[in-house]
Each structure stands twice: as structure tokens, then as C-alpha cells.
Chains A and B, each alone.
Chain A
């Protein structure tokens, strides 16, 4: 099954991380990504720029609204993601727990709703 690991982080806290810790954190992510790849679990994944770089787009009454900032203005923001292939939710939880963000912020796991289940061919 495919799962998306969504990493939620407190951006204000992240901005204040000292340079040395940032290097260590980055190395931990590097090692985590490698471990995912080596085990054949990794499908995709990337880091996102902070939410201040977000642009939201919405069309209402035929008018396009372009808004500076995220859809929901919360303290913890989506900071990155991984797409993984795991046998079941327990295996996915095991990998989510290894994600460096699990010990600092929150990591959310969502199964992909595959097309053949979303719209089964009859």
C-alpha cells in the first residue's frame, strides 16, 4: 500500500534552530531518506519552503483570488512529505516513528486512495 507521511513542524521554532543543530537535523533526514530508499520503501519525498512562501488560489464568483499565505494559518505547518510503499499500517507507523520529525513535531500518515478502490471497475 502507498502511504503519505506528512511532516508538520512549528515554523517559528524551526527558524530559531542554531546552525549546528540544523546541520545535524539535515544529516538525520538524509540518513532517514537513504534508509527508506535502501529498504525499497521510498517512492517520493521533499522538503517544502516555509508557509510564508505559500500562495493560495481560489475562484469565487468567476473572480480569481490569489492570497498570500497558507490555506489554514496554524502554528504547525506542513513542512515536507514522503510517499512510501509499505505492506500495512503497522509497517508504515514503524517508518513514521523513525522520521526525525516524529520526535520534534507531528507526523501524519494517510493511505493513498488508489483509483481501483476509489472507482472500482465493474
Chain B
């Protein structure tokens, strides 16, 4: 199959999103009016998404977008469709930005915009969607599909968040060193949420979600390049690259699910793995350990199998213990229990899992039941294992993983 046209299209789309994000960020940073900035550029951005894949990316993409936005504005019909705020913003960019762009590049304010979107005053659940919308121009429908929420609801929440940015006076700035840590967490969390949603895309067949993983990495690269001295920014990028490197190995040729321990490491993208290792190594020299570096280190321990031939579970367990002590989420606790099972045996692992049983959130969480089923099966407790597999199967939304769990369950019956 010739994938070149697809690659050219993806490149054009990426360029359109990049230029769009830069203009929105530049404008919004001046007016604090995100919706108005989006409004001013909406038509031009749509035109770029439609045209650039065919014609190629123009030499000065931002100037192109501005010129189209201006032309559309002259169009009387369009003008009536464009809101007051959009018109004012257009005037601003037309006068100020164009003058600027004749000899120098537009300053990149996207990091500031991301910090505004991930501000503590913004509802936590809407931060990642807000970043995707303002920086990348994703529409509400795309975001709704990606995060499994209703398009109407997310649309309203995005509007409300943008109003909040303007009305509560949320600043467009990269925080000072003292408060950077906590605030950066929110930005990184939003990026990781976007990536994780794309990563869970079962077969890599849902283009919208696959793009989300790509965009997550892209945002991660942007933040890492703008804040190269922040170990957690490097750690997150490293973590995402490790995961992305294994994408092709997650399914066999028949489209069936392949668990990490059984993946053919010849299928891993070794260039990405190497880049991830380098980033993690650089982060480690900065002497400030954090959640993303630890998670990246777990990934690194898993992929070390490509060289050593075996998985170092003792190392993985130690990393999860550290992770559990600084970010003790139920998800980390499950992974820790699995690592305990690998180092101390299934009984110890199961005991660590049972401790979590009181957490109501795990009731409807597939990995909890799958881990529990696997350990019960190993201990020969077939009836309880069957029950746990049933829970896991019933909670899974990916058909390939469902079939995998069903096969495991069936194997117990023999």
C-alpha cells in the first residue's frame, strides 16, 4: 500500500494546526478572549485543512491564514456570520501581526495559552479538551468521540471554560519557578490525558483517536522544547515515546490483542525507544524525580527485554513502589500488585489487590478484574477466576481485548 499521500496529508494537517494554534495563542494572549480568537480564524483554518493537503503547505503558513481571514472578512455575507469579537480580533492581527510577520516570525505563545487552559481555576476535566481545541483546533465532536463524552455537553463546558478565562482574568503566562511545578503538572496531565485516550484506541483503526496520540506527542515535544530544563516535561515525552514505539506490536497480523510480555520486540520502533531512553537519561541528570520519569522508567525496564531477553520485575516493582508513594492512584496500585505477584508469587500479589477491593472506583475498572482473574487462575482457583474474567470481559470496550480475555477464560475450563 502506498502511504505517501496519507503522509503528505498528515503533514499538511499538522502544519495547519500548528499555524492556527500559534495565531490563536498570539491573539488570545493579547485579548484574553479565546473564543473571539478562534472565531476570527475559524474560516481560514477550515480552508487550510481543506486546501493544504492538495496544494502543499504555503511558505508562510501564518501569513496565509491571516490573508484568508482578512479576505473572508471583506465578504459581506461572511461578515454577518463572524461575531463582533472575531471582527475586532481580526483587525488586531491584521494590523499588528502582519506588520510583525514581514520580517520576523510570530512569537510562540502556545505555552502561555496551555498554562491558561490548565489553570487551577478551570474545571480539571475540561483542561485537556480545552488545550486540544485551542492549540490544535479540534472541534467539539472530535473531542467528544475521543474522551467518550456527549458532544453537546463538552461543547457547553468548553464555552464555559473560555468565558472563565476572560471573566476571571486567568493570566497568559508561564508561572514563576516557585509555582511552576504544580502548574506544569496540570499542563502535562492534560497532554497525557490526550495521549492516553489515543493510545487506548484498540486497533489503531480509529483515525480520530490515533491522531490524538500523535497530537499528544506533538504537544509533549513542544513543551519539552520550550522548557528543556524541566525533568518532568522530558519524562512525559519519554513515557509517550516508549508507549508509541510499541504501537505496531500490540496486535498480531489477524488483529488479535498481544499483551506486552508476549510482544515481538522486532516490531517495536527502536528509533523511538532510543529517543525515549535519551530523554529519560537527560531528565535523570537533573536530580528531581517525578511521576512521569518513574512511569517512563517502568517502560524502559519493560523494553530492556529486547536486549536482555527477560523482564526485570524486581526493578519494575521498585519503580512502582516509588510511584505509589508519590502518586498512589488505584491504577498504580494495580500495577504494583502485578509486579509483586511477579516477584513474590501470586498469593502476595492477590493480597495486594484485595486491599484495594474497598475502592468503589475499581468496581467498574477492567484492569483490576483482569489482574485479579489472572492471579486467581494462576493459583488454580478456577471458579473465582471465571467470575473475575466475566467482570473484566463485561467492562471491556475493545473487541480484540475482549476476545483475548474470553480465550483466557475458556482455557480455564479445560
A-chain residues with CB within 8 Å of residue B364 when the two chains form the complex: 35, 39
B56 interfacial contact with A, CB 8 Å: no
Q: Taking beta carbons and an 8 Å cutoff, which residues of A are in contact with B?
A: 24, 27-28, 30-36, 38-39, 89-90, 93-94, 97-98, 100, 102-104
A30 to B181, CA, bound (A): 47
A112 to B153, CA, bound (A): 18
Contact of A30 among B390, B395, B398 (CB under 8 A): B390
* Residue-wise interface mask of B (304-331) relative to A, using a CB-CB cutoff of 8 A (1 in contact, 0 not): 0000000000000000000000000000
Q: Taking beta carbons and an 8 Å cutoff, which residues of B are in contact with A?
A: 148-150, 153, 363-364, 389-399, 402-403, 406
Q: In the bound complex, do residue A90 and residue B391 qualify as a contact, i.e. CB atoms below 8 Å apart?
A: no
Of all chain A residues, the one with the shortest Cβ separation from B405 is: A31
A-chain residues with CB within 8 Å of residue B149 when the two chains form the complex: 89-90, 93
A-chain residues with CB within 8 Å of residue B391 when the two chains form the complex: 31, 34-35, 38
Of all chain B residues, the one with the shortest Cβ separation from A99 is: B397
Q: In the bound complex, do residue B397 and residue A102 qualify as a contact, i.e. CB atoms below 8 Å apart?
A: yes
Q: In the bound complex, do residue A39 and residue B363 qualify as a contact, i.e. CB atoms below 8 Å apart?
A: yes
Q: In the bound complex, do residue A100 and residue B402 qualify as a contact, i.e. CB atoms below 8 Å apart?
A: yes
Given the known interface contacts A24-B403, A93-B148, A100-B399, the answer about A31 and B393 at a Cβ–Cβ threshold of 8 Å is yes
Q: In the bound complex, do residue A27 and residue B406 qualify as a contact, i.e. CB atoms below 8 Å apart?
A: yes
Contact of A31 among B150, B394, B398, B399 (CB under 8 A): B394
Q: In the bound complex, do residue B406 and residue A97 qualify as a contact, i.e. CB atoms below 8 Å apart?
A: no
Contact of A97 among B148, B363, B394 (CB under 8 A): B148
A75 to B170, CA, bound (A): 52
Q: In the bound complex, do residue A33 and residue B406 qualify as a contact, i.e. CB atoms below 8 Å apart?
A: no
Q: In the bound complex, do residue B399 and residue A90 qualify as a contact, i.e. CB atoms below 8 Å apart?
A: no
Given the known interface contacts A27-B393, A33-B394, A38-B363, the answer about A90 and B150 at a Cβ–Cβ threshold of 8 Å is yes
B-chain residues with CB within 8 Å of residue A27 when the two chains form the complex: 393, 406
Looking at the assembled complex, report how far the CB atom of B142 sits from the nearest CB atom of chain A, in whole angstroms: 15
A100 to B396, CA, bound (A): 9
A-chain residues with CB within 8 Å of residue B363 when the two chains form the complex: 38-39
The 8 A-B residue pairs with the shortest CB-CB distance in the complex, in nearest-first order: A35-B394, A31-B394, A31-B393, A103-B399, A32-B394, A89-B150, A31-B390, A97-B397
Main secondary structure of the interface of B (DSSP, over half): helix
Q: In the bound complex, do residue B397 and residue A28 qualify as a contact, i.e. CB atoms below 8 Å apart?
A: no
A38 to B369, CA, bound (A): 12
Given contacts A27-B406, A28-B393, A89-B149, 12 further A-B contacts (CB under 8 A): A24-B406, A28-B402, A28-B406, A30-B390, A32-B394, A34-B390, A35-B395, A38-B363, A38-B394, A98-B397, A103-B399, A104-B399
A-chain residues with CB within 8 Å of residue B402 when the two chains form the complex: 28, 100
Most buried by A among B149, B363, B395, B399: B395
A-chain residues with CB within 8 Å of residue B393 when the two chains form the complex: 27-28, 31-32, 35
Return 5 A-B CB contacts under 8 Å, by A number. Answer: A30-B394, A32-B394, A33-B394, A89-B150, A98-B397
A43 to B391, CA, bound (A): 18
B-chain residues with CB within 8 Å of residue A100 when the two chains form the complex: 399, 402
Of all chain A residues, the one with the shortest Cβ separation from B395 is: A35
Most buried by B among A35, A36, A89, A100: A35
Most buried by A among B363, B364, B392, B406: B364
B-chain residues with CB within 8 Å of residue A24 when the two chains form the complex: 403, 406
A36 to B390, CA, bound (A): 11
Looking at the assembled complex, report how far the CB atom of A108 sits from the nearest CB atom of chain B, in whole angstroms: 13
A60 to B150, CA, bound (A): 40
A-chain residues with CB within 8 Å of residue B395 when the two chains form the complex: 35, 98
A38 to B387, CA, bound (A): 11
A34 to B389, CA, bound (A): 11
B-chain residues with CB within 8 Å of residue A28 when the two chains form the complex: 393-394, 402, 406
Q: In the bound complex, do residue A98 and residue B396 qualify as a contact, i.e. CB atoms below 8 Å apart?
A: yes
Of all chain A residues, the one with the shortest Cβ separation from B150 is: A89
Of all chain B residues, the one with the shortest Cβ separation from A89 is: B150
A32 to B366, CA, bound (A): 11
Of all chain B residues, the one with the shortest Cβ separation from A104 is: B399
A34 to B394, CA, bound (A): 7
A-chain residues with CB within 8 Å of residue B396 when the two chains form the complex: 98
B-chain residues with CB within 8 Å of residue A31 when the two chains form the complex: 389-394
A31 to B399, CA, bound (A): 13
Looking at the assembled complex, report how far the CB atom of A119 sits from the nearest CB atom of chain B, in whole angstroms: 24
Contact of B394 among A89, A98, A102, A104 (CB under 8 A): A98
Contact of A103 among B153, B390, B397, B406 (CB under 8 A): B397
Q: In the bound complex, do residue B390 and residue A90 qualify as a contact, i.e. CB atoms below 8 Å apart?
A: no
A110 to B153, CA, bound (A): 15
Given the known interface contacts A35-B394, A38-B391, A98-B396, the answer about A93 and B406 at a Cβ–Cβ threshold of 8 Å is no
Looking at the assembled complex, report how far the CB atom of B196 sits from the nearest CB atom of chain A, in whole angstroms: 15
